[in-house]
Structure 1
Amino acid sequence: MSVRQDGLLDTVPLYVTTGMFLLTIVLATVQVLVRQLPIQIEFLFWTEPLARYLLIVMTYLGTAIAVRNDENVKIDLLQRWLQGVNPTLYHLLRILVSAFVLYFVYALFRGALLGAQGAWSSGTNLPHLSYGMIHAMIAVSTILMGIYTLFDLSTSVPALVARLRGQDGSTTVADMTADEPDAEMDANEASTRAKEMMGLSGDSESADGTDSEDQSSRDQR
């Protein structure tokens, strides 16, 4: 696993999740070794439930990290197609997906919070650990999911606004209107060149006009 950005809100969940993962491996290994022994070791009973609870919490923290790194499991065929065909619809679709994820995170957070309140005093088979605490850890993970999703919205919404305003390399009506005088200038330039090729340039016309004025002034004298 890796972090998308080197910030405190990114590194802390990553290190906590990595530590839980390593501890789960150690506990599972101890369980395998203990079961192979001919005698039963009673004082290591806590390794099995602790590994199970760590796996539950680690799953939600890992999901939050996947949301942050945009590595969650998804089918993005339509998004990749729209990114090349119509970037405006692509950004709009990303916003809609993020809004749906926020609604899912809200429902998950609400359920975890209710579970923490209702089972806070309900103890597990481990001392000083209740099911309410486990639900509280899940609620914290859902809060991270929501924060990371809002980070994605903070980039998708400005990108969509820029596309709608035509500030992202797209051609707008204002740009087309601004190009009309240039088109007229090109047409006038082409007409001038055609006259020059036919011997009807503006210089000759002005020269003929000057000669006529000189001749009329001489006649008056």
Structure 2
Amino acid sequence: MRVLVADDERLLADMVAEGLRRFSMAVDVCYDGDGALERIGVNRYDVAVLDRDMPGHTGDEVCRSLAGSGAGTRVLMLTAAAGIRDRVEGLGLGADDYLTKPFAFAELVARVQALGRRSAPAVPPVLERNGLALDVARHVVTRDGRPVNLSPKEFAVLHVLMRAEGRVVSAEELLEQAWDEFADPFTNAVRVTVMTLRKKIGQPAVIHTVPRAGYRIGGPE
């Protein structure tokens, strides 16, 4: 899942981003509305977490831009404005959810995950394929009932592959969905991550390389 966090409280924005990355989300961060608009003009996000009161373009303006773009990005307003009128106004701008500061981080994660599920075609809460089971909410993977301990990045890559349901996923697509904006397009990170995933999942192999195309779960080599 690709997430944008935009908040002029830099420490808070960085803490939120780091926390979401522990749940295998690819997170980009900016500290004003201008930066948010610049990023949504370049990248496709599943969820945007926006502070309403930012310098430059406000979070309200960013939300309105996203709502009118047709990109399908879900918006979570994260703000100190806690009144009912504030909530109604924020939702009226096109926000999908509204969370007031201070907040419990576990609730923020749950809300972002829920919005992420709504930003894409409906999928089961637990993805299963070729003996693998991936539970996004619990952040758990098993192979034939055996726990598989993955890093956040490995989990993110496996999630993208399993959601593809056997379709070939290119290295570029994996970079876009599982890494943030600082990922080097010429890096071998995808290949290395897939290699470690294969080792951890074990035999028989379920992640296959399709020459000059990418990777898929299931099907012949």
The TM-score with structure 1 as length reference comes to 0.25
More strand by share: 2
Larger Rg: 1
Bigger fraction of residues in helix: 1
